[in-house]
């Protein structure tokens, strides 16, 4: 799904904005504090998100993530500090808990689109495209009050996405309750929107979302920013890991010769003999490879006469507990790399099991 991006420097109606070139891009919070019910909920928060960047807020329950998102949305006014928004365009939000209003999903989305001033023909097209993309199916005709939690979340996300890319998108746990295909669809769409200049601030605790989307991570604790990690910190994590299972003929030594090139290939983390099918002289091998190496490895296995049994879901390298405790995102990774280096895990697994 590709939607057009409004050019920077132009107003919604296409007229030129002479001031646009002078505006800094993005949104900032400077020393923002907020008390609610006599309790200090946000304390001196500093945050800056450029246009086309995604900042992920993580923190334990009650750390202030939703309050921060509500402040960015403009629903709460800070007691101290400043919100500087250079994104003059739209704000879109899917915050926690869509109320179960007495509408069908279709009626609700239509009304939300009309309130936002989207022309009927365009609105109809967007509701159809997004509903299809997020697998909403027949739920468009069902009452909000009857929807499952995941389906209600899809409607919440669709209403936020109706205006299209650009501007600022605020999301509170966007993947919560969604099944895997819908999660994948949301991440794919948000990645595309980011490229088209949308700034995204989201509370999210899904490691793969952080790996694939985040340019910055703000770790909140008791309404304060405990840690702030940037893209360079996250890059140290390396890529998500993919598990491949292959079936190959021949002895381990023969295979070692055949696959020595692959074992040394950057991005191949481990090859482990899983089991043997004696009657067919075939061996099942487990591979752990980095995501970008997956296609290459599969191609080489097949080219060498092997076959692929399965390719399993990506495993994130983000360790959420470490992150929430304030450790560097790659701390956990460095530690396990040291451990595996000392046990020579990669080659030993293959060589050590030769018949």
Ligand X SMILES: Nc1ncnc2c1ncn2[C@@H]1O[C@H](COP(=O)(O)OP(=O)(O)OP(=O)(O)O)[C@@H](O)[C@H]1O
Contact residues: ligand X, CB under 6 A = 36-37, 39, 41, 59, 61-67
Residue 24, SS3 per DSSP: coil
Q: Least distance in Å: CB of 111 to ligand X?
A: 27
Beta-carbon count within 10 A of 169 CB: 25
Minimum distance from CB of 266 to ligand X (Å)?
Answer: 38
Element (H, E) at 341: helix 331-342
The residues facing 289 across adjacent strands are 242, 268
Task: Please list, residue by residue across 305-316, b when 16 or more beta carbons sit within 10 angstroms of its beta carbon and e when fewer do.
Answer: ebeeeebeebeb
Q: Which residues contact 200 (CB under 8 A, 6 or more apart)?
A: 49, 53, 54, 55, 168, 169, 170, 171, 190, 193, 194, 213
Q: Which residue has the tokens 């360079």?
A: 232
Evaluate whether 275 touches 283 at the Cβ level (below 8 Å): yes
Name beta bridge partners: 242: 289
| Identity of the residue, 67 or 216, whose beta carbon is nearer to ligand X in the bound complex | 67
Q: Which is nearer to ligand X, 66 or 258 (CB)?
A: 66
Q: At closest approach, how far in Å is the CB of 339 from ligand X? A: 32
Q: Least Å distance between CB 176 and ligand X?
A: 10
Q: Which is nearer to ligand X, 68 or 241 (CB)?
A: 68
Q: Which is closer to ligand X, CB of 96 or CB of 236?
A: 96
Distance in Å, CB of 214 to ligand X, minimum? 17
| Residue with Cβ nearer ligand X (226 or 308) | 226
Least distance to ligand X, CB of residue 151, Å:
21
Q: Which of 35, 48, 62 is nearest to 220 (CA)?
A: 62
The answer to whether residues 290 and 239 touch, using CB atoms and an 8 Å cutoff, is yes
CA distance linking residue 21 with residue 87, whole number of Å? 12
Residue among 269 and 324 whose Cβ is closer to ligand X:
324
User: Which residue is at the shortest CB distance from ligand X?
Assistant: 37
**What is the SS3 assignment for 92?**
strand
Which of residues 36 and 309 has its CB atom nearest to ligand X in the complex? 36
Q: At 250, list the tokens.
A: 């021949």
Sheet holding 282-290, edge to edge: 268-277, 282-290, 241-249, 307-315
Q: How far is the CB of 17 from ligand X (least distance, A)?
A: 35
Q: Which is nearer to ligand X, 95 or 311 (CB)?
A: 95
User: How many Å separate Cα 295 from the centre of its chain?
Assistant: 22
Report, in Å, the least distance between residue 177 CB and ligand X: 14
């Amino acid at each position: 799904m590709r939607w057009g991006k409004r050019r920077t420097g132009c107003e919604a109606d296409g007229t030129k904005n002479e001031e646009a070139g002078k505006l800094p891009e993005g949104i900032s919070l400077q020393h923002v504090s907020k008390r609610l019910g006599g309790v200090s909920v946000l304390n001196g928060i500093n945050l800056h998100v450029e246009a086309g960047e995604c900042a992920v807020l993580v923190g334990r329950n009650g750390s202030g993530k939703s309050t921060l998102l509500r402040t960015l949305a403009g629903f709460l006014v800070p007691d101290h500090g400043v919100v500087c928004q250079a994104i003059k365009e739209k704000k879109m939000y899917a915050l926690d808990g869509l109320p179960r209003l007495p509408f069908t999903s279709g009626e609700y989305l239509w009304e939300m689109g009309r309130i936002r001033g989207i022309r009927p023909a365009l609105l109809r097209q967007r509701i159809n495209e997004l509903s299809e993309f997020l697998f909403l199916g027949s739920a468009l005709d069902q009452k909000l009050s009857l929807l499952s939690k995941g389906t209600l979340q899809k409607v919440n996300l669709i209403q936020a996405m109706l205006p299209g890319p650009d501007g600022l998108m605020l999301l509170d746990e966007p993947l919560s309750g969604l099944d895997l295909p819908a999660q994948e669809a949301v991440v794919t769409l948000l990645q595309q929107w980011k490229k088209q200049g949308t700034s995204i601030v989201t509370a999210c605790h899904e490691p793969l979302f952080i790996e694939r989307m985040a340019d910055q991570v703000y770790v909140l604790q008791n309404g304060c920013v405990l840690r702030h990690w940037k893209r360079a910190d996250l890059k140290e994590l390396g890529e998500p890991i993919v598990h491949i299972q292959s079936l190959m003929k021949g002895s381990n030594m023969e295979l070692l010769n055949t696959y020595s090139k692959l074992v040394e290939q950057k991005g191949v983390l481990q090859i482990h003999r899983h089991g043997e099918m004696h009657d067919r002289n075939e061996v099942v091998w487990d591979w752990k490879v980095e995501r970008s190496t997956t296609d290459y490895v599969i191609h080489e296995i097949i080219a060498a006469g092997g076959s692929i049994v399965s390719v399993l879901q990506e495993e994130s390298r983000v360790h959420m507990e470490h992150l929430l405790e304030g450790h560097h995102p790659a701390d956990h990774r460095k530690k396990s790399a040291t451990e595996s280096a000392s046990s020579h895990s990669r080659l030993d697994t293959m060589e050590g099991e030769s018949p």
